[in-house]
Amino acid sequence: MADHAKLLKMIQSALRQSAEESSLLLNQELSVGDTEVLKRDKAGYLDELEDSAFVVPIESRDDYTGNLFMIFSLRDAILMSGILLGIPPARISEKRKLLILEADDVDAFSEIANQIIGSFNSVFQPCLPHKMHLKQMPPNKFVPQMDTVTEEIPIPDGEYVVYKAHAKLGGEEVSRYDILVPSSLANLFEYGEAGASHENGDTEAVQDQAESLRRLFPSDSEEHPDCAAGEGNRGAAGFTTVLVLDDDEKERERVKGVLLENGINAVTSALGADMQRLFKDGVIDAVVIGIVKPEEWELSLCSRVMDACGDPSIPIIMCAHQWTRIGVLKAVKSGAREIMIKPYDESDLMDKLNKFSCAA
């Protein structure tokens, strides 16, 4: 496969990055070894498909148009979605044995797939000379010898470059983890010189991932949207008081001004403040935390806030000049409910605060 050496290198890099992120998401190590490359037409690939599969179509947009596919063993998809959903191991084993795929499983595995696609975007975009973006399409299962094969199901007719990843989850082999790229699209990806690296990444993709992860880790207030917010006179976002934490005094004062203009009281302090004292002094409805970049100490602020207020569902907006995909993942798992890119944008900040409002 020397004719697609560049594409292989990009895919291997994306697979390794996605394995690191999925390990964090699942709290189990997912490792990816060398990738085997084959050329197959649809019939040839399906002939080798011995077990039930979970097929994730991916639309490639902009200057590299077409559809590629991620194909997993259905049993592995049930396992990973079950781990993510916190289903007891005995029930996961039963579902894998009987190939029981419920709506929650599809949603959960779609989020895992979305993480993988995000890694592909972050690797592919700086390596290609023109604009591109990958987006997940609705997934589906396929059971050989039972489901009908058509021109489009489970994949369209045509020639494919097949990238077979050899992966392990928690030390156990993953049965199938294939990336199928139509030959015409593989040729588009292959030819052209690498572009400059984009350290800041795609802001829209970061925001999309934060929203996707937030759905996987809902707070109590999201599960019970009729709950009441703080008492007293409410501002435009339905809040009385917002705590603003940032070591940059100018940034703190700017956010304070935005809040006051929208009828919301603001309490401001540096990151190293005594959280217990801040929450003891009065009711705080939401927290905006400004950091330089998402490192462990800064992300631990979410836990300090939740401990101090005694409410794990308190709305926390985490803001930084730069986000990586792993940084977003860690922030959301730490308790951040929204992610922002600095410098603060007034309308974006108020939109995010409005999301948390439980006002009637």
Cα-based distances in Å from 212 to 140, 215, 280, 299, 326: 19, 5, 33, 19, 14
Q: CB burial class (10 A; 0-12, 13-18, 19+) of residue 175?
A: middle
DSSP string, 132-171: EEEEE---EEE-TTTSPP-SSSSS-SSEEEEEEEEEEETT
Q: What's the pLDDT score for residue 313?
A: 86
Average pLDDT over all residues of the chain: 85
In tens, the pLDDT along 144-199 reads 989 999 999 999 999 999 999 999 999 899 999 999 999 999 999 998 544 444 44
Query: What residues make up the domain containing 66?
Result: 2-198
Last residue of a domain, one of 161, 177, 198: 198
Question: What are residue 75's phi and psi, to 5 degrees?
Answer: -65, -40
Polymer length of the chain: 360
Pair 155, 267 in one domain: no
Asked whether residue 265 carries a pLDDT value surpassing 80, the answer given is yes
The domain tally of the chain equals 2
Pair 97, 32 in one domain: yes
What value does the CA radius of gyration of the chain take, rounded to a whole number of Å? 23
pTM over 0.75: no
Pair 352, 230 in one domain: yes
We report the CATH number of the domain holding residue 334 as 3.40.50.2300
Q: Structure tokens of 343?
A: 């410098």
DSSP string, 94-118: HHHHHT---HHHHHHHHHHHHHHHH
In tens, the pLDDT along 301-338 reads 998 999 999 888 899 999 998 887 778 878 888 889 88
| Amino acid of residue 123 | V
Pair 7, 133 in one domain: yes
We report the CATH number of the domain holding residue 27 as 3.40.1550.10
Pair 150, 252 in one domain: no
Pair 240, 294 in one domain: yes
In tens, the pLDDT along 221-242 reads 444 444 433 444 456 556 789 9
Q: CB burial class (10 A; 0-12, 13-18, 19+) of residue 203?
A: exposed
The angle that helices 325-334 and 203-216 make with each other, rounded to 10 degrees, is 30
